[in-house]
């Protein structure tokens, strides 16, 4: 029996030719090491910080799909490669993964693998979202970081600064939304990645920070 029911790997960017940044490949390779026959769920449609790369056929290349292709190329069985391709940020990663995969499939022992620069915020968000509405069969969440290899030092510092800013704002958000219904309402009415009313407020990353997506 696998140690985990599933391993979740948030997206971290995809380039124009479909190549994944090194720090994303490291997440996926660690997931392969630990999966032991469990599904690996790759997360994210993309980011609001820049437009997605395009497939040769003209369709957008979704991050979760590019990551799943990498895992399939490494030999992992395609039936154990699941995608969550509805989200554009870490909160969406957690919310849509719970709705699309872990609740319907009854998955409870989960490992989230992400880069060191992202780990603290990812853990805070996943523990919040997966604890909402006190499921009768609670989730067992584990977290593992991989090196920030491949990110230039100045880009990494810019990203770490942004992570600290986001963490500072997260506490208030967690306090305001203590049910899945409340979180859903906020996502579809207020969050700039998902709410039509605020779609024009999408934040465009600039300068060095853009290279971390």
pLDDT value for 206:
58
Per mean pLDDT, which range of 2-6, 15-19, 182-186, 197-201 is the poorest?
197-201
Taking 70 as the threshold, does the pLDDT of residue 207 lie above it? Answer: no
User: For residue 211, what are its two tokens?
Assistant: 């290279």
pLDDT in tens, 171-182: 999 999 999 999
High-pLDDT (> 90) share of the chain, %: 84
DSSP letter assigned to residue 178 = -
Taking 80 as the threshold, does the pLDDT of residue 201 lie above it? Answer: no
Q: Which domains does the chain have, with CATH numbers?
A: 6-150 (3.40.50.620)
Query: Using only C-alpha atoms, what is the Rg of the chain?
Result: 16
User: For residue 133, what are its two tokens?
Assistant: 């509405």
DSSP letter assigned to residue 54 = B
> Which positions ≥6 away from 42 have C-beta within 8 Å?
9, 11, 28, 63, 64, 65, 67, 68, 71, 81, 82, 83, 84
Q: What's the pTM value of the predicted model, to 2 decimals?
A: 0.93
Q: How many CB atoms neighbour CB 138 within 10 A? A: 10
CA–CA distance from 95 to each of 1, 40, 59, 88, 145 (Å)? 27, 17, 25, 11, 21
Q: Which helix (H) or strand (E) holds 158?
A: helix 153-176
Residues 140-158, mean pLDDT to the nearest whole number: 96
pLDDT value for 210:
75
Confidence of residue 61 (pLDDT cuts 50, 70, 90): very high
């Amino acid at each position: 029996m696998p140690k985990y029911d599933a391993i979740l790997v948030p997206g971290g960017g995809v380039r124009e030719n479909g190549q994944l940044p090194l720090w994303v490949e490291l997440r996926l390779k660690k997931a392969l090491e630990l999966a032991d026959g469990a599904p690996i769920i790759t997360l994210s449609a993309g980011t609001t910080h820049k437009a997605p790369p395009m497939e040769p056929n003209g369709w957008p290349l979704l991050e979760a799909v590019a990551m799943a292709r990498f895992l399939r190329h490494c030999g992992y069985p395609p039936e154990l490669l699941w995608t969550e391709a509805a989200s554009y940020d870490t909160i969406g990663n957690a919310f849509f993964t719970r709705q699309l995969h872990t609740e319907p499939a009854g998955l409870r022992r989960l490992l989230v693998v992400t880069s060191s620069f992202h780990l603290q915020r990812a853990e805070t968000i996943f523990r919040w979202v997966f604890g909402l509405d006190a499921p009768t069969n609670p989730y067992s969440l584990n977290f593992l970081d991989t090196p920030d290899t491949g990110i230039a030092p100045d880009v990494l510092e810019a990203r770490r600064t942004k992570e600290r800013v986001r963490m500072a704002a997260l506490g208030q958000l967690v306090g305001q939304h203590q049910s899945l219904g409340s979180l859903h309402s906020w996502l579809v009415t207020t969050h700039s990645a998902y709410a039509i009313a605020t779609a024009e407020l999408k934040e465009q990353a600039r300068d060095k920070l853009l290279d971390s997506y």
